[in-house]
Amino acid sequence: MGPDIPERGKRRALVVATGRYRHKGLRDLDSPPKDAEVLQGVLGNPELGAFQVDVLNDVTAQQLRKDLYQFCASAIVEPDDFRVLYFSCHGLKDADGTAYLATIDTDPTGLPYSAIPSGYIVEQLSRCRAQRLVVFFDCCYAGAFLRGFRPRGLVDSSEINEIFEGEGRVVICASSAIQSSYEGDIPQLGAKPSVFAEAFTYGIESGDAAKVGNGWISAREAFDYAAHRLRRDGVPQTPTISGEGTGDIYISQAPPKPGALPAYIQILLNSPHEELRHQAATMLQELRYDDEPTALALLEALEALQRDPVEYVAYAARAARSRLRPLSLPTLSPDIPVGSVPIARDVRWYMRAVFYEVLIRCFQDSNEDGIGDIRGLIQRMDYLQWLGIDCLMITPIFPSPVRDGGYDCTDFYAIHPEYGTISEFVELVEEAHKRGMRLVMDLVVNHTSDQHPWFQASRSDHDRPYGDFYVWSDTDEKYWGARVIFVDTERSNWTYDEVRGQYFWHRFFSHQPDLNFENPKVQDAMIEVLRFWLDLGIDGCRLVAAPFLYEREGTNCENLRETERTPMQWTPDRNGGFSQTDPQRLYLPPIMDPFYGYLALNVETQERNSASFLQWTRRMIEIRKRHPVFGIGSYEELTSSNPSVLAFIRTLNGTGTEAEGSDVVLCVYNLSRFPQPVELDLRRFRGMIPVECTGSVMFPRIGILSYLMTLPAYAFYWFLIWPPRDDHAQ
């Protein structure tokens, strides 16, 4: 009797990966175990391949024979029985041309007894009764396992082809996936690791392989994507695919694309029939969503419908737009999915975005040296996503003597070693993008540290390339109209340099000489700095001190006002959760005040309190993201009967006169420490209803008289102006 057959399943995959060998004649490979890991993650994902995946890592020939037999024999003749078999290992040939798959105990000098001959593999596959079978040979001599090969005394090539000629049978050979490592018994040291599995699984996991758009990815689609990517990247691999119906064998579900509206709604939106477009507006109002890209797609669809030439369709769209529910933000959890919130393509994103300035030095310490670092920020990214942040703004992280909070840079192409490395910074950018956040960084363009190599070269020899990189003068009487910013420490904007024998110009501290932007070479050098960081993936830069780039006689040549910040207060634990190091090692001591110290005021405590300032801030961010008018709408100040009350209208369409409730927000602020009444002229919105944004409370309908309201001390209202709620709008 043969080996026991395991319980039969519907979708099963077997991944055979051999990368470690006992025989010194076989070079170890790193790619097979990595292939096994990514294949198991994608094929075994219940939302993608949904296969039961078994992995054989570094097994003996005897074990592989047994498991291969069990895998093929367990298949059953049913329409949804699906088998995937993937070989990632060394492929060998003996002197007679017979191909073998190497196992951990393979001895190249003892073939064929210590490896698996292709004939045995073909024999087992011919017995597999699964309706759908996909086999991958990702190894040396991959093509020999399918075409043009005549195994010695086992089976000829026509029999091999017959196994895969029916519909539902596919074989993929990553031909030349690994350059021939062995010719006879002579090892070839030029072997290259295969990258086919990575490209194949990435196409599935990202959804980029999906072409038809039916929610599935076929074996052909995933193969074509991998082959294209290998060609694009210049990888010398020529994979092949054989078998009937390769485009109909769906190896995985396509991952959902955030930001895409359901197909049935898209059909209605594009319909020439007005009643169907009207139905689309109603469906969009009822559509459930929980991510920002989908919310933006919904918003764009409604804004397009608002311009529909049929009035009742446009009106229905305006009514739906005004009643959009809040975006549901995720709970604070380490399990927040980070791969499902791609960044929307919005050229005006910075006008809508909520920015969060991060001083890495004081945010989170990951290595217990008392100083915050990039790795610590990465560890806290879930918190920032929970808060609703759109963009991180990173203050200077360049190498610096830190005499001015890092704004005194000594190298524009590196990271301060206390904060981390370039590779960690790239990881930070990627982690931000995974969460749908952007990242911009401060770039000090006006000046450098006096320890910067440019300045050291400039002061040493004014005739050399860097001699004119800074502003030098024989006198300290030029630009007399420019005020001294830091009068408590600096007596003049000029400082005499003993080495060069001239004065250098500095709008800030005397250890921060200003660059000479009249010199085109300085402009080119700073543009190259920008290119460097943009190529690393950042979404933009804040050009610090840009108003001071040029100097002109008879002008004031114009302010930085930067304070040192104490460590971030995360928890009531040691050092406020910022660092586990000894308190004496912290760059600054944490706040110990009984009201504002970390024991009383911290993220952990505020997150649990729905009435806390943190939760209030989160709600304000949510409202701002729900109403783009706050970021990109026009501004029109209203005449107020009370000088202590500021009131203005924000309008998305830019006119401020059209009575479209979804586009108009009324903002009213009491700037006094006492309660104040105010009367506003809102006659243009006669018949409409102000709806308070934070609680969706409807205020009295606007009439022809001045609109009266009262505000508590330092209070404010944000009102969404709704159209009349007649039967048609309902």
Q: What pLDDT was estimated at residue 560?
A: 32
Tens digit of each residue's pLDDT (9 = 90 or more) over 196-238? 888 899 989 888 888 766 678 888 889 888 888 888 877 777 7
Q: What is 629-722's CATH superfamily?
A: Golgi alpha-mannosidase II (2.60.40.1180)
For residues 352 and 390, the model is more confident at: 390
In angstroms, how far is the first alpha carbon of the chain from the final one?
74
Q: How is the chain split into domains, by residue range?
A: 11-253, 263-322, 329-444+563-626, 445-559, 629-722
Q: What pLDDT was estimated at residue 264?
A: 67
Helix or strand holding residue 543 (H, E): strand 540-544
Q: Poorest-confidence range of 32-46, 180-194, 303-317?
A: 180-194
Between strands 645-651 and 169-173, the pairing is unpaired
Question: Cα–Cα distance between 411 and 371 in angstroms, integer?
Answer: 20
Q: In 89-131, where do the E strands start and end?
A: 91-93, 99-101, 116-117
pLDDT bin (cut points 50, 70, 90) of residue 679 is very high
Q: State the amino acid at position 511 in one-letter form.
A: H
Q: What pLDDT was estimated at residue 76?
A: 67
Q: What percent of the chain has pLDDT over 90?
A: 21
Q: State the amino acid at position 522 in one-letter form.
A: V
- Quick check: 318 pLDDT over 50? yes
Residue with tokens 């911009």: 440
User: Is pTM, for the whole model, over 0.85?
Assistant: no
| Fold of the domain spanning 11-253 | Rossmann fold (3.40.50)
Angle at 439 between CA 436 and CA 445, to 5 degrees: 165
Q: Poorest-confidence range of 297-301, 387-391, 497-501?
A: 297-301
Q: Residue 341 in contact with residue 329, Cβ under 8 Å?
A: no
| Fold of the domain spanning 445-559 | Oligo-1,6-glucosidase; domain 2 (3.90.400)
- Quick check: 3 pLDDT over 60? no
Q: Residue 138 in contact with residue 175, Cβ under 8 Å?
A: no
What DSSP string describes 609-653? -TTSHHHHHHHHHHHHHH-THHHHSEEEEPPBSSTTEEEEEEETT
Q: Poorest-confidence range of 72-81, 135-144, 513-522, 672-681?
A: 72-81
For residues 54 and 273, the model is more confident at: 54
**SS3 of residue 231 by DSSP:** helix
The residue length of the chain stands at: 730
Tens digit of each residue's pLDDT (9 = 90 or more) over 549-578? 766 666 665 533 734 578 889 988 888 888
Q: What pLDDT was estimated at residue 724?
A: 67
Angle at 139 between CA 137 and CA 145, to 5 degrees: 50
Q: What is 329-444+563-626's CATH superfamily?
A: Glycosidases (3.20.20.80)
Average per-residue pLDDT for the chain:
79
Q: Write b or e for each residue in 702-712: b if 16 or more Cβ atoms lie within 10 A of its Cβ, otherwise e.
A: beeeebebebe
**Residue 8: alpha-carbon gap to chain centroid:** 40
Number of H helices, E strands in the chain: 19, 28
Q: What pLDDT was estimated at residue 666?
A: 94
Helix axes 61-73, 118-127, angle to 10 degrees: 20
- Quick check: 363 pLDDT over 50? yes
Q: What pLDDT was estimated at residue 394?
A: 93
